[in-house]
Chains A and B, each alone.
Chain A
Amino acid sequence: DSGVTQTPKHLITATGQRVTLRCSPRSGDLSVYWYQQSLDQGLQFLIQYYNGEERAKGNILERFSAQQFPDLHSELNLSSLELGDSALYFCASSVEQGGSPLHFGNGTRLTVT
């Protein structure tokens, strides 16, 4: 058990809808990362937060947004969903901003129909 909790585990929704994915980092970790894993594009970095502030942005679409709250949990909001957004979305946390291992949750499997 990595100590990172992601909810929900599965999500099925229709195109055009909006969903929120939630992540609780491992106790003591200040950094939260979001990754998207799909069959054709591997593991893509979306965004990173450290102690509530955005620190790095990757291939995150404008339809997607995220935030990290004062209690350090994070949410990833996906809107105007398209079929191609179907993927596994992982949250990971680490103690520091860099130089330390990432601890991954078990992901949220999003299916857009």
Chain B
Amino acid sequence: SQQGEEDPQALSIQEGENATMNCSYKTSINNLQWYRQNSGRGLVHLILIRSNEREKHSGRLRVTLDTSKKSSSLLITASRAADTASYFCAAETSGSRLTFGEGTQLTVNP
């Protein structure tokens, strides 16, 4: 079974709006990572947050981690049409295994 589960499965917003995607996981983690995938292409790493961190920023991206709730969120601010892609969370557990969720399909309408 998947370690990470994203919510929502699909999200459609207008350019300029913020997009929030959530991820839940099941067991203790070393870190949680977020990736982006454009259709049919390889995944691109966005941000890594360690289990002892609560929030991390990178440009227009903000990631939070709540280990007590076993959940994380990815916020993309001031979205652009070019942000249209699938976004995956991935939980790294003991043994360094990285398990991906099923992704959120984000569509940003111009």
Contact = CB atoms under 8 A, between A and B. Distances in A.
Contacts of A103: 45
A54 B88 CA distance: 25
Interface string A3-36: 0100000000000000000000000000001010
Contacts of B82: none
Contacts of A99: 30-31, 50, 92, 96
Contacts of B102: 42-43
Interface in B25-53: 30-31, 33, 35, 40-45, 48, 50
A97 B92 CA distance: 11
Contacts, number: 65
A110 B96 CA distance: 27
B63 to A, nearest CB: 13
A2 B43 CA distance: 9
A92 B96 CA distance: 14
Interface string A96-112: 01111111111101000
Interface string B73-110: 00000000000000010101001111111110000000
A104 B44 contact: yes
A86 to B, nearest CB: 14
Contacts of A42: 2, 100-103
Contacts of A43: 43, 88, 100, 102-103
A55 B100 contact: no
